[in-house]
Structure formats: C-alpha cells, structure tokens
Amino acid sequence: MNRYSALGLVRGALGGHKHWQPAWRDAEPKPSYDIIIIGGGGHGLATAYYLAKVHGIRNIAVLEKGWIGGGNTGRNTTIVRSNYRLAPLHDLFEFGLKMWEHLSDELNYNVMFSPRGAMFLGHSDADMTRLAERGDAMRCSGIDAELMTRDKLAKFEPLLDLSRSARFPIEGALIQRRGGTARHDAVAWGYARAADGLGVDIIQKCEVTGFVRDGDAVVGVETTRGRIGAGRVGICVAGNSGHVAGLAGLRLPIESQTLQAMVTEGVKPMVNSVIMSQSMHCYISQSDKGGIVFGGDPDNWPSYAQRGIPMVMDGAIAQGIALMPALSRLRMVRTWSGVTDMSFDGAPIIGETPVKNLFLNGGWCYGGFKATPASGWTYAHTLATGKPHALNAPFALDRFRRGDTIDETGTGPMPNSR
C-alpha cells in the first residue's frame, strides 16, 4: 500500500508513527562540560551550534528549564530586519540578516525565511524626516532602505487607509525589502538538531538554580538535575536575565516586562509586508497560514507573568484596524505573551560579566528574534575566546557604567525604544 494514501494517514494517526527518529537526543547531564549555556531558546541553541561548528568545542550542554523554544523564541511575531539608524545596531542586525538568507541551507532545515519587506509608516513631516535620516544612515553602511511615497504605498499595500481623514494620516514609509519573517519554532528546532548532530547535549527540564563558585570564579551550576561543572557559563535566558544573573550576585540594568501578540483566523493573502507604525504603537503582518498577526506595546511594568492585560491588547487591535479597516471583519483566534528583557537603553547586552567565567547574552527587549544567528555567532566567539567579537564589543555590560549607551529611540514598532 502507498504509505502516503489516506488509509496510510489514518493508520499513522491511530497507530502512532513508526521509525521516526527524534530530531535531537534526550541527553543526560554529564558531571562537567567545557561550556554550559543556560537557556534553550534560539540564542542559546545558535550559540551552542556555532561553538561546535566554528570553534570546534564539542563538550557543551544547553540547559533548558522547560522545553526548547518554549520561551520568547516560540512566542514572538517573527519580524526579521536590520533597519536601525545607529551603526552598532544596524551592523549587528545586518550581519544577522545576511545569515538568515542562507540559514535553511546552513541547518538543512526549512526556517521559512520570507523576505517580503518590512516597513515603518510615517504619519507626519517629522516622522518622514526621521525615517529619511534612518534610511540614509543605513545606506551609508551599504544596507538597503527605500522611502516610499503615498502613491507607491497605495500600490504596494492597497488595503492601508491612505485617506486624509484617517485618524493618523499616512504620509509614506521606509521599507527594507530584504526584511520579512521566518518560522520561529523551526529556528529553535533547526539549531537544536544541528547542534545535537555536532555532539552538543540538549538537556530539557533542567533549571539552573544557582552557581558553583571557586573564589571569584564560576566553576559550575546547581540545577534541578544536580550539580554540573563548567569551564565557562553563558547566560541566555531572555526575560529571566535579571533573575538568573541575580543568582550570581549581579544586578542588571534590565527590567522584565510582558509583551503580547495576537492572531486572527486565516484568510487569503491581504497584507503583503510587515507594517509597523511607531506613532500608532502597533504592527501587523500575515502569517504563512493566513492569520493576521498583531503586536503592540509591552505592558510597561515589571512582571514575570506570561500573560498580558486586555487593555494593551485592545489598543494594538484598535490601532491595527485604524491602519487597515478591512481587518475589523476578522475573528481573533489566539493571544499570547512572553516576558521580554528590557534593557535601559533598548540595546542588547552581550559579553563578559564582573564574575569570572560567567558571560551574559540578554537585554534584547522585543527585538531579539531577528538577531538569533548573529547573536549566536558573536556570543560563540566571545565564549570560545573570552574576548568580544567586533560586532558585539559595543554591547558590553560595562557600557552603562561608562555612560556609553546605545540609545536609539524608536528601534522597534514602539516610539519608546524600551
């Protein structure tokens, strides 16, 4: 019988799948590793993969308290872009964007990267001036950016409300055509499988509860599955950065806040690109399944709750509908939240900490998914060599002490960069 026949499918569904190999091993913790990564999100898994692949370090464990990709990696709205004005930011994100273009080949796993264009709308002369400046800064670094007039926009996104009577009239947009979206789960699974193939131990349901110290150095971690020794430890826990760093006695310039997103029922293609409006505090895109994905502001107070409040959700939906009135006819089917690690200048923190052998990758706010490959690549360099990579050097933790912050107001869809 043809194993792809309808009968075959029913049999498979009722009888369970046979001969399917797990995509990665369910590893038991060893007594010690050269490098331990705390956090099995995209950043932690990518770091482990590049440590093994590029630096040849194979004795590595990724410790995840839940399941891999169950944090912000599996909860984000998957926007990938490098349209930042400040050079340290657009250099890092552009390095990542170039990696996205080949990531499916690199991992032999379809991460469904879809460069459909990512745009910021301008709603006033001041907005358009800011967008033009941002585009100029990007082009000076060789990154594509294109200002769109209202006429061009009307052809590109015909369902936008471009009438003069719109609540926030649209004057134009800055589009990065190489930006777009990717499939979040696939990124975690692809990196996990590839890292496992290089000998990395991925250990789920293993929460780090403390650090083992020898004088001023970290030499291991305490976990819910026992003590594990480590040469170096890399924190990669997104919204839990403050808590985990606190276990080593560090206080970070990071606040954990809830960020929500929502998706409608699936419909035929109606939104061509990723549309973000900083003035309206919202963004929309269409998933590959057809649902319209909405996002907006974080809840704006510290919380570790992975659920947000209806008021903020309401605001994002109302603004999305004001941008594209046809969306009002759709039914919302799902909302969810993640805990984001909001740094005080809106930029990530990557590098060494004051504790010997302990490194930090966090503070990605609501924009770290797009950085996954670049973050993994540069953090792997730092963990392998103990030194900054040229692209993550500006993001050192001690920049807050030195007053050398990277504060690009409006780096995300929201006008306040945090």
- Using CA atoms of 329, 308, 183, 58 in order, give the dihedral in degrees to the nearest 10: 180
Q: Which is nearer to ligand FAD, 128 or 285 (CB)?
A: 285
Phi-psi region of 149 (alpha: psi -120 to 50; beta: other; left: phi over 0): beta
Residue 51 CA to residue 172 CA, distance in Å, equals 43
Q: Which is nearer to ligand FAD, 52 or 128 (CB)?
A: 52
The region of 76-84, 124-132, 169-177, 379-387 touching ligand FAD under the rule CB under 6 A is 76-84
Q: Which is nearer to ligand FAD, 276 or 324 (CB)?
A: 276
Q: Which amino acid is at 149?
A: T
**Which element (helix H / strand E) includes 372?**
helix 372-385
User: Are the beta carbons of 383 and 258 closer than 8 angstroms?
Assistant: no
Asked whether position 191 contacts ligand FAD by CB under 6 A, the answer is no
Q: Which is nearer to ligand FAD, 202 or 238 (CB)?
A: 238
- Long-range pairs for 393-396 at CB < 8 Å and ≥24 separation? 393/351, 394/88, 395/88, 395/92, 395/347, 395/348, 395/349, 395/350, 395/351, 396/349, 396/350, 396/351, 396/352
Q: Which is nearer to ligand FAD, 41 or 135 (CB)?
A: 41
Q: Which is nearer to ligand FAD, 128 or 261 (CB)?
A: 261
- We find the least distance from the C-beta atom of residue 361 to ligand FAD, in angstroms, to be 7
Name residue, tokens 């990717």.
182
Among 190, 338, 351, 410, which residue interacts with ligand FAD (rule: CB under 6 A)? 338
Q: Which is nearer to ligand FAD, 120 or 366 (CB)?
A: 366
Strand partners, 231: none
Q: Which amino acid is at 206?
A: C
Q: Two tokens at 226?
A: 């026992």
- We find the least distance from the C-beta atom of residue 36 to ligand FAD, in angstroms, to be 10
Asked whether position 70 contacts ligand FAD by CB under 6 A, the answer is yes
Q: Looking only at residues 264 through 293 of this chain, which bind ligand FAD when binding is defined by CB under 6 A?
A: none
- We find the least distance from the C-beta atom of residue 241 to ligand FAD, in angstroms, to be 9
Asked whether position 320 contacts ligand FAD by CB under 6 A, the answer is no
Asked whether position 72 contacts ligand FAD by CB under 6 A, the answer is yes
Residue 251 CA to residue 271 CA, distance in Å, equals 42
Asked whether position 33 contacts ligand FAD by CB under 6 A, the answer is no
Q: Two tokens at 415?
A: 């006008």
Among 76, 256, 278, 319, which residue interacts with ligand FAD (rule: CB under 6 A)? 76
DSSP secondary structure of 88-124: HHHHHHHHHHHHHTTHHHHHTS----B---EEEEE-S
Asked whether position 220 contacts ligand FAD by CB under 6 A, the answer is no
- We find the least distance from the C-beta atom of residue 18 to ligand FAD, in angstroms, to be 30
User: Are the beta carbons of 304 and 256 closer than 8 angstroms?
Assistant: yes
Asked whether position 369 contacts ligand FAD by CB under 6 A, the answer is yes
Among 24, 36, 39, 396, which residue interacts with ligand FAD (rule: CB under 6 A)? 39
Q: How many CB atoms lie within 10 A of CB 193?
A: 18
Asked whether position 73 contacts ligand FAD by CB under 6 A, the answer is yes
Provide the CA 124 distance to its chain's centre, in angstroms.
30
The region of 27-35, 126-134, 360-368, 381-389 touching ligand FAD under the rule CB under 6 A is 360-368
Residue 417 CA to residue 298 CA, distance in Å, equals 11
Q: Looking only at residues 92 through 151 of this chain, which bind ligand FAD when binding is defined by CB under 6 A?
A: none
Asked whether position 49 contacts ligand FAD by CB under 6 A, the answer is no
Specify the 3-state DSSP secondary structure of 336: strand
Among 61, 63, 153, 230, which residue interacts with ligand FAD (rule: CB under 6 A)? 63
Q: Two tokens at 54?
A: 């590029």
- We find the least distance from the C-beta atom of residue 289 to ligand FAD, in angstroms, to be 16
Asked whether position 295 contacts ligand FAD by CB under 6 A, the answer is yes
Q: Looking only at residues 235 through 264 of this chain, which bind ligand FAD when binding is defined by CB under 6 A?
A: 236-238, 240, 244, 259-261
Using CB under 6 A, list all residues that contact ligand FAD: 38-44, 63-66, 70-73, 75-79, 207-208, 236-238, 240, 244, 259-261, 295, 338, 340, 364, 366-370
